[in-house]
Amino acid sequence: MDLDFWWLLIIPVAFGLGWVAARYDLKHLLSESANLPRSYFRGLNFLLNEQPDQAIDAFIEVVKLDPETTELHFALGNLFRRRGETERAIRVHQNLLSREDLPANERDHALYELGQDFLKAGLLDRAEETFQRLHSGGYALGALRALLTIFEIEKDWHKAIEAAQRIEAMGVPPLDKEISQFHCELAQEALQHKRIDEARNALQQALRCNPQNVRATILSGDVEMACHEPTRALEHWRQVEQQNPAYLPLVADKLMQAYAATGQSAQGAALLTRYVEAYPSNDLLDAAYKHIAELRGAQAAHALARTQMQKSPNLAGMTRLLEAQIAVADEPRKSELELMRTLIQQRTKNLPRYTCQNCGFRARLFYWQCPGCSGWETYAPRRVEPIVSAN
């Protein structure tokens, strides 16, 4: 009986405490609202009525009257940038920077946001100039990362290497893979312009940064072939098997070219056959098939294609097998096989794709840097055959 009596007392007491707390919060909210400038509410009204230019003017007035509302500007600028309205975002952040009384940390924040606005708008020179002003402070690392992105877009690989090294000096995880790829880009440019010594030096730097950089090894072979040294080129390209055999399809044709230049085409065909058997893939089979057909005949190529299809059946391999069977079939059966091959080719015409393991971007060509996410070495060096619905 006593327990029920105390429960009856607790209910009105709890209700009373809640009422007092609500009154206090309401009074506090009204007090804060009364202290806000009228320009704040005018700005909100313009924003709700989709009049962003007038809203910006109103919020600028708010900042002049009340410096504590700078966060409002940052939020508004980021909102405009996400919506693609970069001109308005630039205007918001430039107005913040025009304030002489802006604290140093908020000035750095405004500079960083302005640089992001310029970058989003594609104004790379202005973005670079803005980020370069952030030498120290909490936004220095973010500015350096943005500068690295700009240098990659502009293909200014010397500046990219310098920026990456500065980022590493700030205690972040090493960027050896990226720096090594930048050196490879320099080597490839030098090779295209026949600057052989420069290409060799860049590749030495690349392998020093990342000894497992398969691209540097492949380019080293390209340099030797450009110097008419196929034997030395073979030494480089055969190292790919030890580095990462998944990249062998990228050097299969190069290997055969070098073996042919040394008069050892048969040895090259034997090597490709071993690669196909040890590391089966459609790309290796494609390369080996045509060379074996030329050197050993259609029967040998057919046997290779059939063996690989038994190990790993797929549509692309089936197309190659049908081609092999067409080459050895008699005339009545040849037309039927050609029809089957045509149908499968139409079905698989757009299937083979190199897929980025980071963002899933698909491309018909192999890239060392993904066009989608700009990641380096994110593409597996073999084409993926997607599963297609039968409907």
Annotated binding site for Fe cation: 356, 359, 370, 373
- CA-to-CA distance for 341 and 39, rounded, in angstroms? 72
Cα separations in angstroms, 207 against 91, 180, 204, 213: 46, 7, 5, 6
> Within 36-156, where are the H helices?
38-48, 52-65, 70-82, 86-97, 104-121, 124-132, 140-154
Q: Distance from first CA to last CA of the chain, Å, rounded? A: 74
Assign 338 to helix, strand or coil: helix
Cα separations in angstroms, 144 against 21, 103, 150, 245, 380: 49, 22, 10, 35, 29
Q: Which of 90, 96, 38 is nearest to 72 (CA)?
A: 96
- CA-to-CA distance for 200 and 223, rounded, in angstroms? 7
Q: Give the residues across from 353 on adjacent strands.
A: 384
Position 178: which residue type?
E
**What stretch of H or E contains 328?**
helix 315-328
Residue ranges of the annotated binding site are 356, 359, 370, 373
| Cβ(320)–Cβ(286) below 8 Å | yes
- CA-to-CA distance for 303 and 322, rounded, in angstroms? 12
**Tokens 């059946």 found at:** 313
The tokens for 330 are 């008699």
| Cβ(281)–Cβ(245) below 8 Å | no
DSSP-assigned letter for residue 381: S
**Tokens 């797929």 found at:** 314
Q: Which of 137, 153, 147, 71 is nearest to 116 (CA)?
A: 147
Position 386: which residue type?
P
